[in-house]
Amino acid sequence: MDEEREEGQTQRRRVVLLVKEPKKSDSDSSSASEDGDPYGIALREAGYEAIYLPVLAHRLTNIPELRRIIESGASSHYSGLVFTSQRAVEAWKEAWTGVADPESLNDPGCTTLPFYTVGPATAAALQRLPGHAVPSLHLILGAQEAGNAIALADFVSARHRQWLPEASSSLVRPLLYLVGDKTKDTLSNQLGKASIPLEELQVYETYPSPQLEQDIQRICHASRPAFDWIVLFSPSGAKLVLPHFSKESLPKLAAIGPTTRDYLVHTARVSCDAMADAPNPASLVKALQAADFSDG
């Protein structure tokens, strides 16, 4: 009995380095909170310790152009919008803040258009916007069904025409895809195969955090013991972080989805020890636990 008690007392939480910025607080979109980040909450509840490493900064681009699209009536030019990141949602919100009188627009909020999203986090970010900036909730689609670009393309290919009037010229109108500077062409290629036109507008760009190196040094120095896991949320994040670790000193690596996994395995040439089935906290925890359990 004493041996069991001693073993329980010495057992420690496994340390997980999340290569991401903590989620911004719903009550204050200008601040980030580690306490409120859903990944950190889920990991702590599962017995892990979460540490955050923001590696990318971003800036919005082409906001005047996006505002012009809104003011000219997006529904007369497009058959829907596509959001695959919360940064794109930020750009949409910023464009709307510059509209002098939203209620005077012919198509306030593009309320007749479907908004396609990747994952529940992006959908939730849209749902938090003012009512005039988004359609009815039933037109925010794909949150649960589409966790990556290929799944979203399949979802849009199967569903898009049912949201449009039959025999309507709107079928030839493209979807407007709000992208960043590092967006892959997976979605556009897949939709092209389904003869669904897609028009991209870059609305944000990313660049390495100016204090990345000192943040890595600070976190590595403060983390005793060392990390058990590094969780990577994008190829760009992996590209920035991995050079700071030798292959011999790398902990286990987890990817949030197949795109990041493929980068680790095929480009970085390192092992991916776990991958979340969907880009959400519960799936990540499940993947980490399965890998830890198999290791004994």
Q: Is residue 4 part of a domain?
A: no
**Domain-ending residue, one of 185, 206, 227:** 206
| Domain region containing 49 | 14-55+209-294
Q: Is residue 6 part of a domain?
A: no
Same domain, 202 and 63: yes
Same domain, 124 and 225: no
Same domain, 119 and 240: no
Q: Per-residue pLDDT averaged across 98-120, rounded?
A: 74
Residues 290 and 284: their CA atoms lie apart, in Å, by 10
Per-residue pLDDT band for 253 (boundaries 50, 70, 90) equals very high
* Six-digit token string for 109: 């909020």
**Domain-ending residue, one of 206, 230, 261:** 206
Cβ-in-10-Å burial (0-12, 13-18, 19+) of 237 comes to buried
**Domain-ending residue, one of 158, 190, 206:** 206
Whether 251 shows a pLDDT value over 60: the answer reads yes
Q: Is residue 120 part of a domain?
A: yes
Residue carrying the six token digits 């010495």:
10
Per-residue pLDDT band for 164 (boundaries 50, 70, 90) equals low
Tell me how many domains the chain contains: 2
Least confident of 39-48, 83-92, 108-117, 286-295: 108-117
| Nearest CA-CA partner of 205 in 62, 48, 76, 47 | 62
Task: Please state the separation of Cα 232 from the chain's center in Å.
Answer: 12
Per-residue pLDDT band for 2 (boundaries 50, 70, 90) equals very low
Same domain, 172 and 261: no
Between 18 and 220, whose confidence is greater?
18
In this predicted structure, what is the pLDDT of residue 31?
40
Q: Is residue 7 part of a domain?
A: no
In this predicted structure, what is the pLDDT of residue 89?
96
Note the pLDDT tens digit of each residue in 22-40: 875 443 343 444 567 899 9
- CATH code of the domain in which 247 resides: 3.40.50.10090
Same domain, 50 and 121: no
Residue carrying the six token digits 């001693």:
6
Whether 116 shows a pLDDT value over 70: the answer reads yes
- pTM value is 0.74
Same domain, 121 and 196: yes
Same domain, 110 and 131: yes
In this predicted structure, what is the pLDDT of residue 218?
86
Whether 3 shows a pLDDT value over 50: the answer reads no
Note the pLDDT tens digit of each residue in 256-285: 999 899 999 999 999 999 999 988 899 999
Q: Is residue 265 part of a domain?
A: yes
Residues 117 and 85: their CA atoms lie apart, in Å, by 8
In this predicted structure, what is the pLDDT of residue 233?
93
Q: Is residue 9 part of a domain?
A: no
Same domain, 66 and 147: yes
Same domain, 195 and 231: no
Q: Is residue 1 part of a domain?
A: no
Between 28 and 165, whose confidence is greater?
165
Same domain, 131 and 77: yes
Note the pLDDT tens digit of each residue in 45-104: 999 999 999 998 899 999 999 999 988 888 888 989 999 988 999 999 999 888 866 666
| Nearest CA-CA partner of 115 in 159, 154, 151 | 159
Least confident of 149-153, 220-224, 233-237: 220-224
In this predicted structure, what is the pLDDT of residue 33?
45
Q: Is residue 2 part of a domain?
A: no
In this predicted structure, what is the pLDDT of residue 225?
62
- % of the chain surpassing 90 pLDDT: 46
Tell me the pLDDT of the chain averaged across its residues. Answer: 84
Same domain, 215 and 283: yes
Query: Bridge-partner residues for 202, per DSSP?
Result: 179
| Nearest CA-CA partner of 224 in 37, 81, 12 | 12
Same domain, 44 and 70: no
Whether 200 shows a pLDDT value over 60: the answer reads yes
